[in-house]
Amino acid sequence: MDKLLIRGGRQLRGEVLISGAKNAALPELCAALLTGQPVTLHNVPRLQDVSTMLKLVRNMGVSAERDDNGTVRLEAGDLSNPEAPYELVKTMRASVLALGPLLARFGHAKVSLPGGCAIGSRPVDQHIKGLQAMGAEIVVEHGYMIASLPAGRTRLKGARILTDMVTVTGTENFLMAAALAEGETLLENAAQEPEIVDLAEMLIRMGAKIEGHGTSHIRIQGVEKLHGCEHAVVADRIEAGTFLCAVAATGGDVFLRHARADHMDAVIDKLRDAGCTVAAQEGGVRISSSAPACEHLKAQSFSTTEYPGFPTDMQAQFMALNVIARGASMVTETIFENRFMHVNEMVRLGATIHVEGKVAMVEGVQQLSGATVMATDLRASASLVIAGLVADGETLVDRIYHLDRGYDRMEAKLRGLGADIERISGAAA
Ligand code: EPZ
């Protein structure tokens, strides 16, 4: 298993290119299933999860070619195998996003239940509830969701969908299913993330009739057919937020090219409250911060919540900043039930953190000291890299396959900003 070796204490300076968003690219690759015509996606990030999704759609019979410039060309003619097998779904929950498009276009689908993951049970009951409201018949057998249309029906039907909680991929499945359904679908408590807006914009380019995307109420008029399109994946606000927290922690001055400040209000507000200078500039976002953080930054309390609130996907990374900032802070995780697994690893680096249920109480310390730590999930990995960048001495982050799922060449980008970080391949380690 690959590891990252980090020697802390360097400030970060220069410019970094923010890649396309993982959580937009994944549903958009599935959206290509909605038409038999060619679909071209630009700015697709080079990530393990994207490779897994390409394997999944190719396994169904989709032709999918990726070039070296981040462009993926897909063509989902008649699929030989409209199925998402357990072997692939167990490695990536986002495979559930195949369910809506397959059902909408082919009238049937067989998708493995994703099973749990490190950060929580993450059921898909709301996906099933919403698609059943659209007329789908879904049974769960031997760990698979077997979905079909009732006899005599060739299309899903529009429906009013109100889920028990806001669900990002649930909203995405409903958007894709409703685009080809008969009649109107109204999503009453839709997710509002920028990745939802980006998917809706791609579907509209394919001929879908959608309005209200980006708000909690989305209205979709189904059409009979969708055509191909060309679309560029929106920049990754979580990758950008991760780099903002890294610069805040180490000190320095960095321009994040392609980052969208308007997608990161909650995080940028907290960084400014902490004492960083963050400015939207032509083509990106610039951050400058003084070191050491314990003298110049004030720790910030926050609670994660649905967009546009503070993102759960930024909780671990901002905690890494609080750990070495001045004062006490309270971090509350309201979305997932087990998203504090980075805490024990940070304590090994010298952090002072106490967890009580959904709340982590952090006491800022003057200095962390390098150690060997273990990544447990995608964003926890990123928070350990940030902690390693400021720790005194060497930090070895193990199991960074978690990091590779969602970050496009992170160590190369950090080295480009002056960090002392290198990948040690599993074979050599
Ligand atoms: C998406 O996951 C993201 N993944 C996650 O990013 C992100 O953390 C999450 O949204 C919340 O913002 C992708 O977009 C591929 P949810 P998703 O459905 O859609 C519960 C990352 O680090 N729920 O919005 O799976 C669920 O358990 C990843 O990039 C149900 O109970 O999240 C959670 O508590 C991690 N039943 C809450 O709702 C359901 O059917 C929100 O989950 C669906 C969800």
CA distance 408 to 204: 28
- Clarify whether residues 83 and 204 are in a common domain: yes
Does one domain contain both 57 and 83?
yes
End residue of a domain, out of 210, 232, 254: 232
Tell me, in angstroms, the distance from the centre of ligand 1 to residue 167's CA: 6
DSSP string for 309-330 = SB-GGGHHHHHHHHHHSBSEEE
- Are residues 81 and 94 both part of a single domain? yes
Residue 267 and residue 137 share a domain: no
The tens place of each residue's pLDDT in the chain, 429 residues long, gives 899 999 999 999 999 999 999 999 999 999 999 999 999 999 999 999 999 999 999 999 999 999 999 999 999 998 888 899 999 998 899 999 999 999 999 999 999 998 767 788 788 999 999 999 999 999 999 999 999 999 999 999 999 999 999 999 999 999 999 999 999 999 999 999 999 999 999 999 999 999 999 999 999 999 999 999 999 999 999 999 999 999 999 999 999 999 999 999 999 999 999 999 999 999 999 999 999 999 999 999 999 999 999 999 999 999 999 999 999 999 999 999 999 999 999 999 999 999 999 999 999 999 999 999 999 999 999 999 999 999 999 999 999 999 999 999 999 999 999 999 999 988 654
**Cβ neighbour number for residue 130 with a 10 Å cutoff:** 24
Is the CB of residue 168 below 6 angstroms from any atom belonging to ligand 1? yes
What is the CA(277)–ligand 1 centre distance, in A? 31
| Ligand 1 site, residue 312, Cβ cutoff 6 A | yes
Based on the fold, state whether residues 285 and 153 are members of the same structural domain. no
Q: How far is CA 327 from CA 252, 322, 387, 397, in A?
A: 21, 8, 17, 27
Q: Closest ligand 1 atom, CA of 126? A: 40
Which of 214, 232, 250 is the endpoint of a domain? 232
Domain of residue 98, CATH code: 3.65.10.10
Sign of the dihedral defined by the CA atoms of residues 364, 365, 366, 372, in that order: negative
Q: Do 206 and 303 fall within a single domain?
A: no
Tokens 């009013």, residue?
160
Instruction: Report the C-alpha dihedral over residues 332, 127, 230, 65, rounded to 10 degrees.
Output: 100
- Residues 177, 246, single domain; the answer is no
409 shares a domain with 301: yes
Domain co-membership, 270 together with 215: no
Record the pTM: 0.98
Torsion of CA 260, 263, 269, 270, to 10 degrees: -100
- Please check whether residue 375 is in contact with residue 402, taking contact to mean a CB–CB distance below 8 angstroms: yes
117 annotated active-site? yes
Range of the domain at 26: 22-232
**What residue owns the CA closest to ligand 1's atom 18?**
167
Q: Partners of 373 in the beta sheet?
A: 397
405 and 299 together in one domain: yes
Contact 382, 413 (CB under 8 A): no
Among the residues of 107-236, which ranges form H helices? 125-133, 168-179, 194-205
Among 232, 263, 295, identify where a domain stops. 232
* Pocket-testing residue among 113, 129, 167, ligand 1, by greatest number of atoms within 8 A of Cβ: 167
Total domains in the chain come to 2
Binding site feature residues for UDP-N-acetyl-alpha-D-glucosamine: 93, 122-126, 313, 335
Beta-carbon contacts of residue 399 (< 8 Å; ≥ 6 apart): 1, 3, 374, 375, 376, 381
Q: Are residues 365 and 296 in the same domain?
A: yes
Question: Which residue owns the Cα nearest ligand 1 atom 21?
Answer: 313
Same domain (yes/no): 219, 284: no
- CA of residue 88 to ligand 1 center, whole Å: 18
| CA of 10 relative to ligand 1 center, distance in Å | 35
